[in-house]
Amino acid sequence: MKKLILLYLILLSTINYSQEVALDLVASNFNGITEITNAGDDRLFITEQSGLIRILKPDGSKSTFLDIRNRIGTGSERGLLGLAFAPDYATTGRFYVNYTDRSSRPQHTVIARYTVSSNPDRANNNETIILRIEQPFSNHNGGKILFGLDGFLYIGMGDGGSGGDPRNLALNTNELLGKLLRIDVSGSTYTNPPGNPFINGGGRPEIYAVGLRNPWKISFDDVTENLWIADVGQNAFEEVNVVDSKRPGLNYGWRCFEGRSRFNNDRTCPRESETVRPVEVQSHRDDGVCSITGGFVYRGQAYQNFVGKYFYGDICSREIGILTNNNGTWQATYQRPSNAVGYRTFGEDVNRELYVASGSNIYRITDPTVLSTPDIYKRDEITFFPNPADDSVTVDFGKNRTEIDRVSIFNIQGQKILEVPSNNQQNISISTKSLAGGMYLLEFSSNQGFKSVEKLVIK
């Protein structure tokens, strides 16, 4: 088991934090994770490429929310790729998925609406198809869907696949491929919001931005109102873009530009000054970089050192990228945690804490800085055993028994699920029979305001 690291919240304002990140395993045994999101509560919703949406609860238990495997065409980059809960999900029960259908030729991206049943952990299987978009090839399907700060549904569409956008679809305003789409799904089907650049002609009215190759993950930052797009490159560069989310009609440059370099000299290409310039570009020559996965700007509470920074990753290099705004200029740093994986998707919980997933495992992104604890805990070591625990864990306070008032167990999302008073005993035994297997936080605290937090694993 990894040694404990955690946080002493009382001293946050006096600590100098590092730029390091760590990955703490939260759950495993998924199959082809493509999305992690929440519905405004303490559950995580995980999509699997084959067509399952699964729920992960704070106690570590899992259940199936929706099974549409009979509607999904998989293979290559196809499958169930996106999930978004409506802003009014609590009252309407509506949510939306993005998947590729089972058609052989042509294939289609399908945007469909579902609703939750009377059981909040189970969706109805009835589907309302909102939009179908023909896909000429099996790759570059994009897949991310999300609701913007304006309440409209945004859809990230790849250029249709093959290589090099052979049909020049991304810049063709009469095609939906290679675009960021924006639609209003508050009605029975959808309408096109005022302000879309081609609402009055000159292109498809669903289009919000053009010139994308394969935007694999998009996010909004509600503090700065920025839109972040990570666009997968062809053979040379991966790029991160950030723009004001209220600027419709932007051109991200593909297939004329890859990163900041010229890719195609077609006579119809725009000038570079007419396109969005990426804030970060990684070369495929840099330490195994091959395919970017976009993430989020951190807006959680647990790690003050992360606030305002954009986190993303790469499937091949296994690096976590961190973009920091220094006086208006975004600067990138990269780290490869000791248990690094190929990053397929990032996600947020209801508390805005960040997660990242490989194909089968979900990790929480944490700050591994070891924070000092008050002197009373240094006089004699607190121990607890066994760890991992099964039915119970025993805490030995040593000489600290008169100074620790209670022991609490928190789940990985920071919610207290159990509290036991110490009663000045040398040892206390805490039953863990009711807890599902997984990682928890064991907090020792006193009425004088001292806290010490350690990791506890339940089998």
Domains and CATH numbers, the chain: 19-366 (2.120.10.30), 375-458 (2.60.40.3080)
d(CA 390, CA 72): 39
Instruction: Write out pLDDT tens, residues 232-262.
Output: 999 999 999 999 999 999 999 999 999 999 9
Task: Give the percent of the chain with pLDDT over 70.
Answer: 92
pLDDT mean over 132-148: 96
Instruction: Write out pLDDT tens, residues 284-304.
Output: 988 899 999 999 999 998 888
Q: State the pLDDT confidence band at 55, using cuts at 50, 70 and 90.
A: very high
- Phi/psi zone of residue 229: left (φ > 0), alpha (ψ -120 to 50 degrees), beta? beta
Under a CB-based contact definition with an 8 Å cutoff, are residues 162 and 136 in contact? Answer: yes
What is the pLDDT, as a whole number, of residue 452?
A: 75
What is the pLDDT, as a whole number, of residue 450?
A: 66
What is the pLDDT, as a whole number, of residue 2?
A: 32
d(CA 336, CA 317): 8
pLDDT exceeds cutoff 50 at 427: yes
* Average pLDDT score, the chain: 90
Rg value, the chain, Cα: 24
Beta-bridge partner residues of 210: 251
Q: What is the pTM of this model?
A: 0.80
Residue 199 — φ and ψ, nearest 5°? -60, -25
What is the pLDDT, as a whole number, of residue 378?
A: 37
Name residue 308's amino acid.
Answer: G
Instruction: Write out pLDDT tens, residues 31-52.
Output: 999 999 999 999 999 999 999 9
Report which of residues 415 and 207 the model is more confident about: 207
Both tokens of residue 427?
Answer: 């040892």
Is the bond leading into 182 cis (omega within 30 degrees of zero)? Answer: no
Three-state SS string over the chain comes to: CCCCCCCCHHHHHHCCCCCCCEEEEEECCCCCEEEEECCCCCCEEEEECCCEEEEECCCCCEEEEEECHHHCCCECCECEEEEEECCCHHHHCEEEEEEECCCCCCEEEEEEEEEECCCCCCECCCCEEEEEEEECCCCCCCCCEEECCCCCEEEECCCCCCCCCCCCCCCCCCCCCCCEEEEECCCCCCECCCCCCCCCCCCCCCEEEECCCCEEEEEEECCCCEEEEEECCCCCEEEEEEEECCCCCEECCCCCEECCEECCCCCCCCCHHHCCCCCEEEECCCCCCCCEEEEEECCCCCCHHHCCCEEEEECCCCCEEEEEEECCEEEEEEECCCCCCCCCEEEECCCCCEEEECCCCEEEEECCCCCCCCHHHCCCCCEEECCCECCEEEEECHHHCCCCCEEEEECCCCCEEEEEECCCCCEEEEECCCCCCEEEEEEEECCCCCEEEEEEEEC
What is the pLDDT, as a whole number, of residue 277?
A: 97
Both tokens of residue 95?
Answer: 């949510």
pLDDT mean over 383-404: 83
